[in-house]
Structures are given as C-alpha cells and as structure tokens.
Structure 1
Amino acid sequence: MRIALTAFTRRGTGLAGKLSHDLAEIGHSCALAVPERLSPETGLPGYGSLGEWAGERFADTDALLFVGASGIAVRAIAPYVKDKFTDPAVVSVDEAGRFVVPLLSGHVGGANDLARLVARLIGGTAVVSTATDVNGRFAVDQWAREQGFFLDGREGAKRVSAALLAGVSVGLSSDFPVQGGLPQGVVEGPAEAGIALTLDPEKEPFSHTVRLIPPVLHLGIGCRRGTAAETIAAAVERVFADHHLSLKGVDAVCSIDLKKDEPGLLAFSQSLGLPLTTYSAEELSAVPGDFTPSPFVKGVTGVDNVCERAAVRRGGTLIVPKQAGEGVTVAVSQVPITIRFSEKGD
C-alpha cells in the first residue's frame, strides 16, 4: 500500500516518523511530509498548504495517515471526497498514539485494516465504527478487497450489506468451487439480494446482485507491427464480450519478446494497469499443449503460435482459443481458483 503521512506538531512528527519506518519495514511504501514551518528542524519535505497536499495525495496514494487532530484531517480532505469505491483510505491518529480512527473508505479502501495495523504498531486502540464491524456482520466490500476481487455493482453491494445488517439472508452464486462454511447470513440459493462470484460481467442471479470478479485470466496477444492500442483494445473487448468475460478479471497481458517494445501493445497493457509480460520463442515453443498452428507466424517469430502459448505460459488452462481479426490475435487462459471464507466469515 502507498501511504502518505503527515503531522502537525513536533511531537506528532516523531510518531509519524516511527510509523513511516515501521510500516515500510513490513512492505508498505511510505512518504512523510510536514508543514513548511517544521521542515527545517526535521529535515523532512515540507508543504505550504495542507489542503493542496491532501488533494495531491488523493490522486497518487492508496492511503493518507494524519497524526494530529481528526478535525484538521477532515477539513483537509473534505473537498476531495467522492465515494467509498474510489476514495483512498484515510486514518487519523492522535499525537499521543492512543486512538487510531479510520475516517474514510474503511472497507474498500482498507482504512479499517490500516487503523488496526497502526494500533498494533503503537499500542493504541483502533476506533472502528462501520456498521458491519460493530455488529459482527460479513462485509462483502472488505472481503472482496482482501481477496483482490473487483467489486462490480455498487447498488448491489449496498443492498447486500443492508440485508445482512437487518438480519435478512443474502444469496451466494459461485462459478468456482467453494470450500468450507459460508459467512453468517450468506446462503446458497434464491434471495432478493446476493453475491455472484463470476467472470461474467452480465451475470445477475439475484434481483440485487453484487458481482465479485477474481483476477484469474491471462490474456495472450499477437499483433502486426504498428497496430494501434485502440485496435488492440477493440479486438480484446470483442472477444471478451463474445465469451462473457470481464476485463476486470485479467491479471496479465502476455506476448512474445519481439513485441516487448510495441507501442500499441504497451499502451493497451498500461490502460489495464498491467505490465506487458513477454517470452522468447524458445520459451513459447516449450509450452506443452495442442495449439492453433500458423506456418506464417512461425516463419516470422520462430514459434507456430504466440497468443495461445503466451497465455498458457503465464499459467492456467486455455479457455478462449486464438481469435483473429484486424491484425490482432487474442487468446485467454484461466488459472484455477477455490473460494474460501474464514470460519467467522469476516
């Protein structure tokens, strides 16, 4: 998690420095800044306007951690708050380190978990107030974030949470095997509101459905030199629509190393927020399986198939064989997944 920290007093800066160090030690990326008046004596980067600093951090970090009065933090972030599905986590800690308060995006953004972690690091108390946590109910948005699943259907998520809080059972539909028990209040079968674990962006087994899409797809692509990113995107979108797959399920974009500098392919990968993974012709040729051969492709690249072999080389089983059009070839593999809830369902 990319965490931006700040404090408003000398004492608070000391605690913020400790947290920045401790959080970095366990794998988080931390950046600590202070008001300009504290910069000379602390040697830390300074800012002139807390509001401007907060606005910039809303755009480039996963979490903001304020050490100081919660009211100051609230006023600083107020102009930038949009909704819980896009806002970063915001946590406030008093400068004595006694109380850690998640202020914004407790579940989806991870503020509740960050508050609990910070409380453990400093021996404080996390003050979590979200209804599902207070009442010990399953929080579908937080669980999805913990699993790395994309949550599709904000209104459905609200309905599911409201039903669970009211003591009404919600349904579960899964295209993947489920191992172990279900969270309290979640049942397999019909319900007014429910959760669909699926790769199909149009699946709606309940009147109010929240779809949770796991990142288990590997996308293999081949293309002619100079193919535009828009052409590649259109080809991929067409294939995914035809096969009822969500692009939110893509975890990797793969090709042959001859394409590692292909501008269109790199731009397309970037649009998905993913790096382009490439393999040599030798690596692709060594992939076992029955693939769609092309003498022309072999003459150009040294391997008889790029898209299918690249997808499977990354992992999983081929679920969409080579689809070709407009100089682009597309194939998709899927890695196996088993859904597991914790014993307590939290």
Structure 2
Amino acid sequence: MSRAYLAFTAKGEALAHRLAEALPGGVSRCGGDVTLKGWTAEHFAQDEALIFVGAVGIAVRAIAPHCRSKAADPAVVVVDEGGNFAVPLLSGHLGGANALARALAKACGAVPVITTATDVNGLFAVDLWAKAQNCAVLEPERIKHVSGALLAGQTVRYWSPWPVAGEAPAGVEKTDAPEAADFALTLTPQGGALHLVPRIGVLGVGCRRGTTAQQLEEAFAAFCAASGLSPAAVCATASIDLKKDEPGLAAFCKAHGWPITFYPADELRAVPGQFTPSAFVAGVTGVDNVCERSAVKASGGTLLLPKTAGGGVTLALAVRPFAPDWRTEQ
C-alpha cells in the first residue's frame, strides 16, 4: 500500500515520521510550496492511503471535492497530533482504512475509532471479505443491501462455484440457485446479486505484427461479451517472446495495469494439455498455439475459455487456482 502523510505542526510532523517508520510513506508538512489543497489533490489521485496528522475537520474539507465512490477512493485516516486517536474517514473496508487505522493506532498507542456499522455490531462485512479474497466488487452500491439485511437480523444467501472453506459467518448461508443469491462469487456475473469477481484470470494473447492497442481493446471487449466474462477477472497477460517488441500489446496491457509474461516457443510447446492447434501459427512461431498455452503456463492453473480469433488477434483465458475461505483479513 502506498501511503502519504501530511502534518500541520512540528509536533504533528514528528508523529508522522514516527508512524512512517512503522508504516512507510512519504511525510510532508503544510507550508511554503506544500498546500493542503495541492497536496490532497496530488496524493488522492496517486496513493492508496492518505494519513492526515491533525484535525478531522481539516481532512474532511480537504478530501470532500475528490470523493467519488467506495470502490475508487483511497483510504483516508486522521491521527490527532497527540497520538490519541486514529480515525478512518474514507474507504474503511474496500480501501483498507479501518485496518490502517488499527495499524497506526498500534504504532503510536492510540485508540482506533471504527464506526462502520458491521464492525460496530460484530457482523460479516461482505466488502471487507471481498478484499481479503482478492475479489473485485462490481456493484458497490449493492453492498448496502447485504449489510442492511444483516443489520436487520435477516439471513443473506451466497452462491459460489468454488467451495468456501470454514464455517460461514452468522446470518450467511449458501444457496444452490444463483438467481436466489444476495451475493455471488463468479467470473461471469448476471442477475441482481452483488457480484464479487476473483482476480484469477490470465489472458493469453496472440496477434499479428503491428496490431494496435485499439484493435486489442476491441478484440478483448468482444471476447468478454461472447463469454460473459467480467473484465475484472483478468489480473495478468501472457504471450510468446516474439511479441516482446509489440507497442500495441504493451500499451494495451499498461492501460489495464496488467503485467505481461513472455515465453519462448520451446517452453510453450512443453506445456501439458489439449490445445487448439494451428499449422499456420506453428509455421510462424514454432508452436501450434500461443494464446492458450501461454495463458495456462502463466496461470499455473487450467484453461477456462479456449481460443477465439478475429481481426488478427487470438485470445484465451486460463485461471489460477482459487480456494476462498471465510477470513476477512488478508
């Protein structure tokens, strides 16, 4: 987690440095070229956590113009300059502000002030659980329906094609009918449930020389539309080393924040499994299938969506092993 600390006094700055020793991050102090407005705009956009060492009111006014949604906002925590209290203001669960407040409090002997309703009442927090299981939350506005039902003493139902290890939390039970679920673990969301998408997909890519990022985007959109795959399921890409110098492929992956792994043909030929062969691809690259084999090799898992081709682009998806459990801490 990238963190940035802002203090307003010498005492606050000293505390910020002390906290940064335990939880590393850059420390700034308001004054001169460092303004509250400018610092907040810069770090709200680029960091995962902002820690204000000072008054809550100052932090609230500073972040107010930048708040977008619980799925996009960074964690924001305020620690008073006396080191008495650590108060999470924003993104308590998805952004990790509650956990950060507890860690900051431990570092300086403060009291973490947690106010989220599920935490206060000792109930299951579906967004916190999603974060711990490395899942994307597709419809953050639906979190309140799950949490609201639990707070009202009702039972919520979940659906998952993967077994979830451990005992389900109080008020949570499994359903075998996806359409009856209040929340669901899935790679192919549909219906009105809150969908939690495991980030376990590796996209295997093959393309003609000179394929542009826009062509790859269009192929990927068509691939997802045809299969029902949520783009949020993809966490990495893979291809043959002949594509290392393709600027379109590099730009496509960078736009999504996906790392890409390249393999030589002999390593791809050695990947075990049944793949869709192409004599043409074998003649050009030295291996009968690039996208399926590279996806499987990079994932260490299994092929889920076989090769599709169009517009000079081939795509396939393999998934990493996934074993969810009921922990809400990573």
TM-score normalised to structure 2 length: 0.94
Q: Contact conserved, 1:292 with 1:305, CA < 8 A, in 2?
A: yes
Tell me how far apart the structure 1 counterparts of residues 230 and 67 of structure 2 sit (CA, whole Å).
28
Output the aligned Cα RMSD. Answer: 1.9
Q: Counterpart in 1 of 2:31?
A: 36
- Identify which of 193, 196, 203 aligns with 2:184: 196
Tell me how far apart the structure 2 counterparts of residues 180 and 131 of structure 1 sit (CA, whole Å).
24
Q: Counterpart in 2 of 1:179?
A: 165
For residues 124-143 of structure 1, give each alpha carbon's deviation from its aligned partner in whole angstroms, at most 9, with x where no partner exists. Answer: 11000111110111111111
Tell me how far apart the structure 1 counterparts of residues 98 and 275 of structure 2 sit (CA, whole Å).
47
- Identify which of 229, 238, 261 aligns with 2:222: 238
- Identify which of 124, 128, 144 aligns with 1:138: 124
Going from structure 1 to structure 2, the CA distance change for 1:118 and 1:345 (only over 3 Å counts) comes to closer
Going from structure 1 to structure 2, the CA distance change for 1:65 and 1:345 (only over 3 Å counts) comes to closer
**What SS does the aligned partner of 2:81 have?**
coil
1:245-284 matched pairs, under 5 angstroms: 245-284=229-268
Give the letter aligned to residue 103 of structure 2.
L
Q: Contact conserved, 1:177 with 1:337, CA < 8 A, in 2?
A: no
1:62-73 matched pairs, under 5 angstroms: 62-73=48-59
Tell me how far apart the structure 2 counterparts of residues 119 and 192 of structure 1 sit (CA, whole Å).
41
Q: Counterpart in 2 of 1:325?
A: 310
CA-CA distance at 1:192 after TM superposition: 7.1
**What SS does the aligned partner of 1:56 have?**
helix
Q: Counterpart in 1 of 2:110?
A: 124
Going from structure 1 to structure 2, the CA distance change for 1:104 and 1:187 (only over 3 Å counts) comes to same
For residues 150-172 of structure 1, give each alpha carbon's deviation from its aligned partner in whole angstroms, at most 9, with x where no partner exists. Answer: 00122321111111111111111
Q: Contact conserved, 2:135 with 2:199, CA < 8 A, in 1?
A: yes
Tell me how far apart the structure 2 counterparts of residues 209 and 335 of structure 1 sit (CA, whole Å).
24
Q: Counterpart in 2 of 1:8?
A: 8
Structure 2: gaps of 5 or more residues: none
Q: Counterpart in 2 of 1:166?
A: 152
1:19-58 matched pairs, under 5 angstroms: 19-24=19-24, 30-36=25-31, 47=34, 49-58=35-44
CA-CA distance at 1:193 after TM superposition: 6.4
**What SS does the aligned partner of 1:179 have?**
coil
CA-CA distance at 1:147 after TM superposition: 1.9
Q: Contact conserved, 1:160 with 1:193, CA < 8 A, in 2?
A: no
Q: Counterpart in 2 of 1:219?
A: 203
Q: Contact conserved, 2:202 with 2:317, CA < 8 A, in 1?
A: yes
CA-CA distance at 1:265 after TM superposition: 1.0
Going from structure 1 to structure 2, the CA distance change for 1:58 and 1:283 (only over 3 Å counts) comes to same
- Identify which of 133, 145, 149 aligns with 1:147: 133
Q: Contact conserved, 1:156 with 1:194, CA < 8 A, in 2?
A: no
- Identify which of 76, 82, 89 aligns with 2:62: 76
Structure 1: gaps of 5 or more residues: 25-29, 38-45
Tell me how far apart the structure 1 counterparts of residues 187 and 229 of structure 2 sit (CA, whole Å).
5
**What SS does the aligned partner of 1:36 have?**
coil
**What SS does the aligned partner of 1:241 have?**
helix
CA-CA distance at 1:325 after TM superposition: 1.1
Q: Counterpart in 1 of 2:47?
A: 61
- Identify which of 265, 282, 302 aligns with 2:286: 302
Q: Contact conserved, 1:151 with 1:211, CA < 8 A, in 2?
A: yes
Tell me how far apart the structure 2 counterparts of residues 128 and 333 of structure 1 sit (CA, whole Å).
40
For residues 57-103 of structure 1, give each alpha carbon's deviation from its aligned partner in whole angstroms, at most 9, with x where no partner exists. Answer: 11111110011111111121122122222211110001121110001
Deviates more, 1:121-130 or 1:81-90: 81-90
Give the letter aligned to residue 116 of structure 1.
R
Sequence identity, in percent?
A: 51
**What SS does the aligned partner of 1:101 have?**
strand
Confirm or deny that 1:311 pairs with 2:295: yes
Tell me how far apart the structure 1 counterparts of residues 180 and 309 of structure 2 sit (CA, whole Å).
41
Give the letter aligned to residue 160 of structure 1.
V
Q: Counterpart in 2 of 1:40?
A: none
For residues 234-253 of structure 1, give each alpha carbon's deviation from its aligned partner in whole angstroms, at most 9, with x where no partner exists. Answer: 22222222222111011211
**What SS does the aligned partner of 1:178 have?**
coil
CA-CA distance at 1:11 after TM superposition: 0.9
Q: Counterpart in 1 of 2:193?
A: 209
For residues 202-223 of structure 1, give each alpha carbon's deviation from its aligned partner in whole angstroms, at most 9, with x where no partner exists. Answer: 2x2xxx5100000111110100
Tell me how far apart the structure 1 counterparts of residues 9 and 133 of structure 2 sit (CA, whole Å).
37
Tell me how far apart the structure 2 counterparts of residues 338 and 332 of structure 1 sit (CA, whole Å).
18
Q: Contact conserved, 2:132 with 2:329, CA < 8 A, in 1?
A: no
